[in-house]
């Protein structure tokens, strides 16, 4: 008995040691970026080598890097533009995908099975892989360097349609039938029955659409070359090539690009986790 | 809903589903067709001439392509198993809500909010060869400074670390939820039968979450085969082409060399490779 107990204690200790190592690996870069973004650039360089107390703990804190990012570097423009693009994508994407899911789940029409198979098939197409031929298509449509190029491809999302269909399938048909009998229209049922019952799915879909746009890199790099269409991730790498030595501001820009999604993801993390788990298990 | 009873007009369902289907067709399926179609043409001046499979032949004859394919393969062989194993071990540790588990889970969650481009920038500065914090830490421990991203034998390893850092927690969360959905009664039954610890994990937990593991393996592979961002942001394929993955190679071919035919041929090949690997993985995972 005693032997068994000491064995579990040993196991627990090993487990927590491992978890702590991963925790440090995971968190240290974030904290490092945060501290560096709050100090003078000269101070970072002064204390970086050799390693000392002040390497990690700033002498004096300053918000100057952040002020510079938004005034001199014009990074704010990219942030605002990206937020606009994200908001538009969320609104349009929620409509388009949930209506498609609604139709595939609750309405009857010929070719429904085929269209659903089509949606499932498109889940398997690796998104990044097709970016370059997609550039060719968008170019032929004359949409490169317009906001439409950044918006249109992000609206329809097969994983989200799939997720909506699965979650609408769980809504009992009787509920819809009685509404239909009472003379409710298709859109009325959508508004008064489907929508109120699918808030968690909506939140998950919104977060997915948001992170997809916020984290997008290769696509905006190809089609958003004009300054006014710069999205954050592209702006960040441009900033890095142009001002590689301004470490405090660079780290500050990283903190901003990481903070915005976290502000949305952390409060809704349970919806997000359930959502990805749901599509993960059933997909 | 009863079959045959239709309480809405014939067109409504199509009107609701068509916008999504049309967009998916234009931006998901049509690019594949374009890619295959475009790879059969080559540019002569301002015109595109049909050349059949010539672009593929040139590709297969070029050492740079094979090297690029190998680089992509090596990257994947490291990143995919490392990310998934780390995710699985952490998920198994955290799925029973041990004391303090919520702290670890929340911290790991942060990595999900940080994009690959941002992660690359942060790590790139930390790995700076002359003033990076990692080098100054190495010096503090009496280890020689390393060139990291600026040396061909280390650059790839650095990028692998960055991608694992960014990626593991997403898979961890998926695996965790899946593990938590296993009914407690199954574990209790196993315990009564004398199964414990690793034995239970291997014989009960893992087989029960196999669909999730398959999903993670397949998604992780297809994402990482298409890796582009960290290479573009940090090494540009160098030093001496050691991190020149296929996507970056195709990007350079398309936008710097304006050779659309070859670029599309590369992308088509990459998608074929991706499809083959994924089908093998799915078969393997279902058979066990």
Do A250 and B16 lie within an 8 Å CB cutoff? no
User: DSSP letters of B92-156?
Assistant: HHHTT--TTHHHHHHHHHHHHHS-HHHHHHHHHHHT-TTT-HHHHHHHHTTPPP--GGGSTTTHH
Task: Using the predicted structure, report yes or no on whether residue B252 has a pLDDT greater than 90.
Answer: yes
Residue found by looking up tokens 């998916």 in the block: B24
Quick: pLDDT tens for A206-222: 999 999 999 999 999 99
Q: Which of residues 67-86 of B touch A (CB under 8 A)?
A: 86
Start-to-end C-alpha separation, chain B = 39
Do B177 and A29 lie within an 8 Å CB cutoff? no
* Structure-block tokens of residue B63: 């050492």
**Contacts for A53 with CB less than 8 Å, ≥ 6 apart:** none
Q: Is B20 at the interface with chain A, CB within 8 A?
A: yes
Mean local confidence (pLDDT), B190-202: 84
Q: Which residues of A touch B19 (CB under 8 A)?
A: 96, 99-100, 155-156
Quick: pLDDT tens for B117-171: 999 999 999 999 888 899 999 998 989 889 999 999 999 999 999 999 999 999 9
Q: Is B116 at the interface with chain A, CB within 8 A?
A: yes
Q: Which residues of A touch B3 (CB under 8 A)?
A: 108
- What ipTM goes with this model? 0.90
Quick: pLDDT tens for A72-108: 888 999 999 999 999 999 999 999 999 999 999 999 8
Give the Cα separation of A141 and A223 in Å (integer).
Answer: 12
Do A126 and B226 lie within an 8 Å CB cutoff? yes
Quick: pLDDT tens for A228-250: 888 999 999 999 888 888 899 99
Mean local confidence (pLDDT), A141-145: 91
| Min distance B13 CA to chain A CA atoms (Å) | 5
Residue-averaged pLDDT of chain B: 90
Q: Is the pTM of this model over 0.95?
A: no
Q: Which residues of B touch A176 (CB under 8 A)?
A: 1
């Amino acid at each position: 008995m005693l032997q068994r107990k000491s064995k579990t204690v040993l196991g627990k200790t090993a487990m927590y040691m491992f978890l702590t190592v991963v925790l440090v690996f995971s968190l240290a870069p974030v904290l490092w970026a945060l501290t560096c973004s709050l100090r003078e650039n000269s101070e970072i360089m002064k204390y970086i080598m050799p390693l000392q107390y002040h390497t990690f703990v700033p002498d004096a804190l300053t918000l100057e890097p952040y002020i510079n990012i938004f005034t001199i570097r014009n990074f704010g423009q990219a942030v605002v533009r990206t937020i606009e693009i994200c908001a538009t994508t969320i609104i349009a994407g929620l409509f388009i995908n949930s209506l498609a899911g609604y139709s595939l789940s609750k309405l009857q029409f010929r070719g429904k099975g085929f269209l659903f198979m089509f949606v499932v098939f498109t889940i398997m197409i690796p998104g990044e892989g097709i970016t370059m031929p997609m550039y060719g298509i968008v170019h032929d449509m004359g949409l490169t360097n317009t906001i439409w190029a950044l918006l249109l491809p992000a609206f329809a999302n097969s994983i989200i349609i799939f997720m909506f269909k699965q979650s609408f399938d769980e809504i009992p048909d009787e509920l819809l039938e009685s509404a239909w009998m009472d003379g409710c229209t298709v859109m009325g049922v959508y508004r008064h029955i489907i929508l109120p019952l699918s808030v968690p799915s909506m939140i998950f879909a919104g977060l997915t659409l948001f992170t997809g746009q916020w984290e997008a890199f290769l696509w905006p790099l190809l089609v958003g070359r004009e300054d006014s269409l710069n999205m954050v991730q592209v702006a960040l790498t441009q900033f890095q090539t142009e001002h590689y030595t301004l470490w405090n501001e660079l780290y500050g820009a990283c903190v901003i690009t990481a903070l915005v999604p976290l502000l949305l993801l952390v409060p809704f993390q349970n919806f997000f986790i359930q959502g990805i788990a749901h599509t993960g298990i059933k997909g | 809903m009863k079959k045959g009873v239709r309480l809405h007009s014939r067109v409504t369902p199509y009107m609701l589903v068509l916008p999504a289907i049309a967009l998916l067709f234009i931006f998901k399926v049509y690019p594949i067709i374009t890619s295959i179609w475009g790879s059969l043409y080559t540019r002569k001046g301002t015109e595109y001439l049909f050349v059949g499979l010539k672009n593929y032949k040139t590709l297969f004859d070029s050492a740079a392509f094979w090297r690029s394919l190998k680089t992509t393969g090596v990257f994947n062989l490291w990143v995919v198993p490392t990310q998934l194993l780390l995710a699985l071990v952490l998920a198994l540790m955290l799925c029973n809500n041990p004391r303090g588990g919520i702290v670890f889970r929340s911290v790991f969650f942060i990595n999900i909010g940080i994009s690959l481009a941002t992660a690359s920038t942060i790590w790139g500065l930390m790995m700076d060869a002359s003033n990076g914090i990692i080098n100054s830490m190495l010096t503090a421990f009496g280890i020689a400074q390393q060139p990291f991203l600026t040396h061909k034998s280390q650059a790839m390893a650095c990028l692998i670390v960055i991608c694992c850092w960014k990626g593991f927690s997403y898979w961890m969360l998926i695996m965790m939820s899946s593990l938590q959905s296993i009914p407690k009664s199954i574990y209790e039954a196993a315990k009564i039968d004398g199964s414990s610890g690793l034995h239970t994990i291997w014989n009960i937990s893992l087989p029960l979450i196999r669909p999730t593991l398959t999903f993670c393996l397949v998604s992780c592979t297809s994402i990482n085969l298409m890796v582009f961002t960290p290479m573009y942001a940090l090494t540009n394929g160098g030093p001496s082409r050691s991190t020149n993955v296929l996507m970056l190679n195709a990007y350079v071919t398309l936008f710097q060399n304006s050779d659309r035919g070859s670029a599309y041929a590369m992308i088509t090949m990459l998608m074929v490779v991706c499809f083959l690997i994924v089908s093998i993985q799915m078969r393997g995972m279902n058979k066990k």
